[in-house]
Amino acid sequence: MSALAKVFVNAGFEAIRCDTPAPNVARITLDNPRAMNGYTYRMCLELQAAIDAYRDDDSLRALILTGAGTRAFCTGGDISGAEPEHSAKVANSPMGHGREMREGMQAVVLRLIRLDKPSIAMIRGYAVAGGLALALACDFRFAAATAKLGDTSNKVGLLPDEGGAWLFPRAMGLDRALKMTLLSEIYDAPTAAALGLVTEVATEENLEGRVMEFAQALADRAPLAVRLSKTMMAKALTSSIEDSLVDAQMAVMISNPSEDVKEGLSAFREKRPPTFKGR
């Protein structure tokens, strides 16, 4: 384990847990099962630190994000009154609610979207409201067949303010996203997959094994190629074909001369699995 990975695992977080369940694979677990893994301000700050640690450690090549227990991945903000002093501070500030959102879950969502390394949401139970936005900020979503996904924010007069207003329409189309949010709809995992919210559905018993298998497959790929490919595709969503091709030209000047490409080609010729080092 690298020195940075040891920091990732032993950071002393209170609202999340971090570990490395397989070689080159990081895992962050939201640890608030009492409130169905609803996020608190502390959790958001810890998530930002953990995501940064994953980003900055080249030995960690795939990230799994999940929730403690089986009842929920995340159900949005924790409204149980778990942080009374912080809540009072927010309520007494004219810009408090906006600042809390900007510095809290919105910052988490932005970090995940901007990652140049892959992330996987492993979903058991409910992923609703801000929890669904958090899952959609990951590159892939693997859900147990018993999982429930949707947006319940409008049901209590709240908004899809953690990034859902941007993420939901991109995943399922504007009409379906509006229907889900305005009517506070919740879908079972197969329906959510058909709507574009879930990458793959697995049985409850097989979910963790399938996610680990997928994460390890990602971690075994050439890290430079993975990071550059993700960056190119994400940027291409909002750029012209001409700009995308220029980005590709710049990227190959990094990847093609790399040791990983030499190793990949040698392994192909020698009919053996490649061993990539990320350089």
Q: What mean pLDDT do residues 202-222 have?
A: 97
Burial of 270: CB neighbours in 10 Å, binned 0-12, 13-18, 19+: exposed
SS3 270: helix
In the chain, the DSSP E strands lie at 16-22, 25-30, 62-67, 72-74, 119-123, 126-128, 140-144, 148-150, 186-188, 200-202
278 assigned to some structural domain: no
Are 16 and 76 a contacting pair, CB within 8 Å?
Answer: no
277 assigned to some structural domain: no
162 assigned to some structural domain: yes
247 assigned to some structural domain: yes
Domain of 231, in residue numbers = 223-270
Say whether both 137 and 260 belong to one domain.
no
d(CA 194, CA 188): 10
Q: Please compute Rg for the chain using Cα positions.
A: 19
Q: Domain holding 257: CATH number?
A: 1.10.12
**3-class SS letters over 65-92:** EEECCCCEEECCECCCCCCHHHHHHHHC
Domains: count for the chain? 2
Say whether both 162 and 215 belong to one domain.
yes
Mean pLDDT of the chain: 92
Say whether both 158 and 233 belong to one domain.
no
d(CA 231, CA 137): 14
- Write the pLDDT tens digit of every residue in 242-260: 999 999 999 999 999 999 9
275 assigned to some structural domain: no
276 assigned to some structural domain: no
| Residue 78, pLDDT score | 87
Say whether both 75 and 163 belong to one domain.
yes
208 assigned to some structural domain: yes
Say whether both 211 and 245 belong to one domain.
no
Q: What mean pLDDT do residues 36-56 have?
A: 96
Q: Domain holding 210: CATH number?
A: 3.90.226.10
Say whether both 232 and 178 belong to one domain.
no
Does the structure show a pLDDT above 70 at 219?
yes
| Tokens representing residue 251 in the block | 């990227």
Say whether both 146 and 110 belong to one domain.
yes
SS3 129: coil
Maximum pairwise Cα distance, the chain: 67
Q: What mean pLDDT do residues 164-191 have?
A: 97
| Residue 80, pLDDT score | 72
Nearest to 20 by CA among 68, 76, 61: 61
Rounded to two decimals, the pTM is 0.92
* Residue located via tokens 């790929």: 221
| Residue 2, pLDDT score | 65
CB-based contacts of 125, cutoff 8 Å, min separation 6: 36, 67, 69, 70, 71, 72, 73, 144, 146, 147, 148
Say whether both 133 and 74 belong to one domain.
yes
| Residue 12, pLDDT score | 85
DSSP annotation of 156: G
| Residue 87, pLDDT score | 61
Say whether both 43 and 161 belong to one domain.
yes
Give me the percent of the chain exceeding a pLDDT of 70.
Answer: 92
Say whether both 260 and 170 belong to one domain.
no
Are 156 and 184 a contacting pair, CB within 8 Å?
Answer: no
Beta partners for residue 148, in sequence order: 126, 188
| Tokens representing residue 252 in the block | 């190959």
From 219, 239, 257, the end of a domain falls on 219
24 assigned to some structural domain: yes
Say whether both 208 and 170 belong to one domain.
yes
| Residue 149, pLDDT score | 98
Say whether both 135 and 247 belong to one domain.
no
| Tokens representing residue 130 in the block | 């801000």
Q: What mean pLDDT do residues 197-221 have?
A: 97
| Residue 228, pLDDT score | 96
| Tokens representing residue 41 in the block | 């301000």
d(CA 213, CA 166): 30
Q: How many CB atoms are located within 10 Å of the residue 172 CB?
A: 20
